[in-house]
Structure 1
């Protein structure tokens, strides 16, 4: 028999590993173009240039291009707007935040031995916020056929009913926990053969709302060593420490009272399913790079970035509330709310490696033009232990593909002023090119050189479309989202 799950003081609990999705892996594999204002104004096309602390993220050889010791600090305003289309209903969500997204310094040591071709070497430390996860997405509309109850029944099918009534929530597997919520929240009913059916009105046209609020970041601290040889060749190495900390709160609401043809006196009338996921961890990667001056004007760069090896932790809190007047007592209000924070075992993620080829042409002291080409194979990502993520890794290999990215940047100098612009195109990481679409971005900026102090400003616009499902299985409908990012960045740099 079903029972109402009472509220009690929140405690911590541990359970078996949580299923991971393709979208979870991509949060760590994809990087925004963040960093200094000069770097952002030129869309990150710095692989053959160097001379900027954020350029070390592309090619670690770039620190040896500096002539003297240098430091910079960067502040940004990060704005995101998300236009949603869910079965013809248009809604919009937005988020705006300020942060310190770059801080670093480089020390240049010259070799005064006239007989050596090793002219100098450099040491640098630089922090960049590689991803800002602050975002808000809101969707609403009428779904013609599918209810969120199908999500819970997809997990419940095959599980004996006594498992959902005779075991405490915290001792169940992740799949059993999802079934437990739907069963004890009266959204699904048992049928023959350990199968379950939806308890909601079968007529369709369900009114639904989905909101997702996320807060957090992914950052990288690079320890850099580079050297110059024969005043023509530059070689560099980065050892990178990665940090991740973000929280996502999603709330899905379904209202049958607002659905055409619904009987307001019987059956389930509304439900709200809330998930709060906190993910945190750290990782390591390394980078190797080289820059060559083919002529005084023409430069070539080549860089390799290893996979990032993450150790990650998830903490999840879920609750389901349902209004069903004729389902039992408690005035028809049911709460499948264990009020537990579930700690899942630490797991590992390996992101794809990255290859960057770069060309740059320097027009004396008047300006420059730079192009970067970046290649990543997203299908090579893996969760570990592999035997516990067989389905997740198979889904990654099946859904994702090799992605090409092109960055173009230009700079023109007028005395102490510098005018900059850039363009970036990144292919979708998905084979179908629709779950996440291609990214297009333009940027611009200006800088002023006071001598020992430099002040730079940049503006970046980026747009990407995506069609990601609200849930991973059972109920896989989702909204078409147009995501637009507008960023204003200010950097103060000074010679040490």
Structure 2
């Protein structure tokens, strides 16, 4: 592989770079134990669950017994992309071991510190995401200036991402007088992802209505990344019924190795580059009402307190500058609200929760092509990610030492999906001029819906 001027890569992949900054690298995983997911992740001031350390590592200090468990995830997603009232949908299902972990609880005698607990939690999230947008022959471009016949019409677009995101958390928590719980978490992240971006054009003047596929410049590409973050937190027991929690999580520092395809009039070639990326830091505030051992109610609010930034140490200033300017001017602080409850009847556990997260990007005006080939500058306020809604429902049964939990998770978000702008190339030998370059975007509306089921089996000792 060869080193290629990475500034070219930036201009070709800006849309997916912006989206991946939030959905892949933003440390916003929606996985955990079935108990945690049944409450939509709202456990910041309750604790006592290894996955609650995703919100506040002080939840580890609440444990009074050891605990080992594993979670099977059955995941399903559906993407529907709509352009000018025409839609295409795609469904995909997968099953994997999405979580496993354990806690060792050490009682401390003769001290105001009641317990010292150590925990480990592993999360594995599938990153597969396929979006297919229908064609619209009322959208066309005159390519005489680019050396290709007289006119082509848009015949469809596809974006495909495959891969996995993992997070391993090592934590330690303490219990002081059963009134104050504290915790520290060290998080190790890893990403392996591959992406494609292509569209199909139809040559209107061709007697056979020839259709040709174009790949976006520097696509497909692979990324292999490792990241690190840390978090500290505390939970205060104000009285027997009410708790407050606070935690701070550092940015995640990512180191990414990338291989990508460069097109020209010659054969495509593979090049590589390295980049460093820093996600926003976060603060979480929690409150819990626990009037009895049979009922608990929790509210969490998480706020981003910094902005994403590329921080490569090598001389890639021109690569990072454009995206960093965008993040500084158009990204906003992540804001997520979660509410959850658990009710116990003897060994039976019933759970429910709801979570809402804003789109971390501001509205943006971009030149867009619409029906009838009309070009306008349009303000979009739902670009790249969109608002996320999560509904969680859960049930479980505690057989004293052994327990089984199940959860249903529904995730929904809608967003505006720009593509078509920038450089695209074809490898079709019948086309004399291989590349096209457009300034305008085509923008579809994507609806993503996920229906996931999780089953956790655990043992307390």
Decide which of 68, 73, 76 is 1:71's aligned counterpart.
68
Q: Any conservation in 2 of the 1:53–1:72 contact (CA below 8 Å)?
A: no
1:264-303 equivalences in 2 (<5 Å): 264-265=206-207, 269-274=210-215, 275-303=219-247
Change (3 A) 1:271 1:398: farther
Change (3 A) 1:350 1:277: same
Change (3 A) 1:458 1:337: farther
1:457-496 equivalences in 2 (<5 Å): 457-471=406-420, 473=422, 474-496=439-461
Q: Which has the higher mean CA deviation after the structures are superposed, 477-486 or 304-313? A: 477-486
1:317 equivalent in alignment to 2:313:
no
1:33-432 equivalences in 2 (<5 Å): 33-113=30-110, 116-129=111-124, 131-142=125-136, 144-147=138-141, 197=146, 199-202=148-151, 206-256=153-203, 262-265=204-207, 269-274=210-215, 275-317=219-261, 338-344=267-273, 346-377=274-305, 379-385=307-313, 387-388=317-318, 389-432=320-363
Q: Any conservation in 1 of the 2:251–2:281 contact (CA below 8 Å)?
A: yes
Q: Which has the larger radius of gyration?
A: 1
Q: Number of paired residues?
A: 413
Q: Any conservation in 1 of the 2:79–2:131 contact (CA below 8 Å)?
A: yes
Deviation at 1:224, TM superposition (A): 0.6
Deviation at 1:387, TM superposition (A): 2.0
Pick the structure with more strand per residue.
2
In 2, Cα distance between equivalents of 1:347 and 1:382: 7
Long gaps (5+) in structure 2: 364-380, 423-438
Deviation at 1:316, TM superposition (A): 1.4
Q: TM-score, normalised by structure 1?
A: 0.79
Long gaps (5+) in structure 1: 1-11, 150-187, 190-195, 257-261, 321-335
Q: Any conservation in 2 of the 1:441–1:463 contact (CA below 8 Å)?
A: yes
In 1, Cα distance between equivalents of 2:59 and 2:2: 48
